[in-house]
């Protein structure tokens, strides 16, 4: 019985890995779909998640391990066979609870089922050779090549991080990206107190800890929070702690007029509405019409009524709006390299040349949204990436061309993150959160 379930799990994992690599699909979306539709048994859900995320995270290292055992190199075999070998070597190396003989047996069975006798023989031969001879060592490598293999990251990305943050921080960031991310929730203080919400979650079987950064955060250490009545009734929202800091930085108050220029899926928008006690108004926009529904669904679940969500290109805001706002949020589209732990395929799908388009888009949105900030009003620019070109450089260029705006010191940011000038980059290894950037800008009174 157990073997049958494991076989199904591994076949499903192989199917997802192929789709992620071939179609550029996102791992978290595919996994959510499979798990929510009961395509594997409940008891195998965590194994499926581990196999998919683990194999993607360790791809570089797994290919290094496989290369000496493939006579004509890893590019000589069919993509699905390579994925099967990566999946199997991941289990042999990183999963102690799965016996080696079971890993090899299941891999050979899948190869027989999907291929021909020659392929199953190849899979069997490679895995048994690794088992007999052991893994190749990285001792013969040096410098960036060794770091790329040992941390399983592309060389160009590590080189960028070393140039920006130094070798020690770059290595720490890459190693942290191999760890599972924490599951954190934001408490809805417009509906209840944090203590009452903690008790509700405990009563429904969740184990929790206080967040490391945000006063609004709880870390779920065990239990299925998304199936609790506490979640369904809008007392909590799943959100990374670093993202929760945006609302603290922007400081919206009840009765204010607020603009969220790039709002979907609505996590930060709804947090702003909670801070405003659902009094005032929030105009929330996103480029993609189909994502507006996500904002509306979250607002409804949380019992928030002040959010009006519409599809709009944030680079054309002033063509449609002639009013000014007390607070404006630009959570700009970005390369997303601060959330590699949650979307490990990003480090393989992104190429350096593909990232060059982001600073221009970000600068255009920031310039457009800034025109709608009223005198004395506040603007927050944020991203979930750790590239200076998309963060500090964009803000610096904006300020050099807009004399009415200055960085504004924020008490919370200064006390929590020692950021005295209203601007901060958070690296994943510093607090266990996603990598994130935020800057608070104030428009001078005329």
Determine the longest span between alpha carbons in the chain, in angstroms: 79
| Residue 411 token pair | 């008490």
Q: Alpha-carbon distance 139 to 160, whole Å?
A: 24
Residue 16 DSSP SS3? helix
User: In 321-390, which residue ranges form alpha helices assigned H by DSSP?
Assistant: 346-349, 358-370
| Residue 372 token pair | 């709608």
- Is 265 one of the annotated binding-site residues? yes
Q: Alpha-carbon distance 323 to 319, whole Å?
A: 11
| C-alpha dist (Å) from residue 127 to 109, 216, 407 | 13, 48, 57
Q: Alpha-carbon distance 32 to 396, whole Å?
A: 39
Residue 134 DSSP SS3? coil
- Is 263 one of the annotated binding-site residues? yes
From the candidates 206, 275, 334, 384, give the one annotated as an active-site residue.
Answer: 384
- Is 268 one of the annotated binding-site residues? yes
| C-alpha dist (Å) from residue 373 to 12, 163, 164, 172, 264 | 50, 35, 32, 38, 21
- 384 labelled catalytic: yes
- Is 267 one of the annotated binding-site residues? yes
- Is 286 one of the annotated binding-site residues? yes
- Is 38 one of the annotated binding-site residues? no
- Is 262 one of the annotated binding-site residues? yes
| Residue 312 token pair | 């709009």
Any residues with CB less than 8 A from the CB of 435 and at least 6 apart, and which? 173, 242, 337, 338, 339, 340, 384, 385, 386, 425, 426, 427, 428
- Is 63 one of the annotated binding-site residues? no
Q: Alpha-carbon distance 340 to 250, whole Å?
A: 26
- Is 264 one of the annotated binding-site residues? yes
Q: Specify binding-site residues for S-adenosyl-L-methionine.
A: 262-268, 286, 313, 331
Q: Specify binding-site residues.
A: 262-268, 286, 313, 331
Catalytic residues: 384
């Amino acid at each position: 019985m157990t073997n049958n379930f494991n076989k199904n799990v591994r076949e499903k994992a192989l199917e997802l890995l192929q789709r992620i690599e071939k179609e550029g699909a996102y791992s978290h979306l595919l996994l959510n779909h499979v798990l929510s539709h009961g395509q594997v048994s409940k008891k195998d859900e965590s194994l499926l998640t581990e196999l998919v995320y683990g194999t993607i995270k360790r791809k570089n290292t797994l290919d290094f391990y496989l290369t000496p055992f493939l006579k004509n190199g890893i590019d000589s075999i069919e993509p699905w066979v390579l994925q099967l070998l990566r999946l199997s070597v991941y289990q042999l190396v990183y999963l102690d609870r799965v016996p080696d003989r079971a890993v090899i047996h299941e891999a050979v069975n899948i190869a027989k089922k999907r291929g021909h006798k020659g392929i199953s023989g190849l899979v069997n031969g490679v895995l048994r050779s690794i088992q007999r001879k052991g893994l190749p060592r990285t001792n013969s490598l040096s410098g960036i090549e060794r770091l790329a293999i040992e941390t399983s990251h592309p060389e160009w990305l590590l080189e960028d991080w070393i140039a920006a943050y130094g070798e020690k921080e770059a290595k720490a960031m890459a190693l942290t990206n191999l760890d599972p991310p924490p599951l954190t929730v934001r408490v809805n203080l417009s509906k209840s107190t944090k203590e009452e919400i903690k008790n509700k979650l405990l009563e429904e079987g969740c184990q929790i800890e206080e967040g490391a950064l945000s006063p609004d955060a709880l870390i779920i250490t065990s239990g299925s929070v998304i199936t609790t009545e506490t979640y369904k009734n809008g007392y909590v929202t799943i959100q990374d702690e670093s993202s929760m800091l945006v609302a603290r930085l922007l400081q919206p108050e009840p009765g204010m007029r607020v603009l969220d220029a790039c709002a979907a899926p609505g996590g930060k928008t709804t947090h702003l509405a909670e801070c405003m006690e659902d009094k005032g108004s929030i105009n929330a926009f996103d480029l993609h019409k189909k994502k507006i529904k996500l904002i509306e669904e979250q607002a409804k679940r949380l019992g928030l009524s002040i959010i009006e969500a519409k599809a709009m290109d944030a680079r054309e805001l002033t063509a449609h709006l002639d009013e000014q706002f007390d607070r404006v949020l630009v959570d700009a589209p970005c390369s997303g390299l601060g959330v590699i732990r949650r979307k490990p395929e990003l480090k393989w799908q992104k190429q350096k040349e593909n990232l060059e388009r982001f600073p221009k888009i970000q600068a255009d949105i920031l310039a457009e949204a800034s025109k709608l900030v009223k005198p004395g009003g506040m603007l927050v620019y944020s991203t979930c990436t750790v590239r200076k070109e998309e963060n500090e450089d964009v803000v610096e260029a904006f300020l050099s061309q807009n004399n009415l705006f200055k960085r504004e010191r924020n008490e919370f940011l200064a006390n929590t993150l020692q950021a005295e000038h209203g601007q901060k980059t958070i690296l994943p290894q510093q607090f266990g959160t996603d990598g994130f950037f935020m800057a608070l800008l104030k428009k001078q009174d005329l």
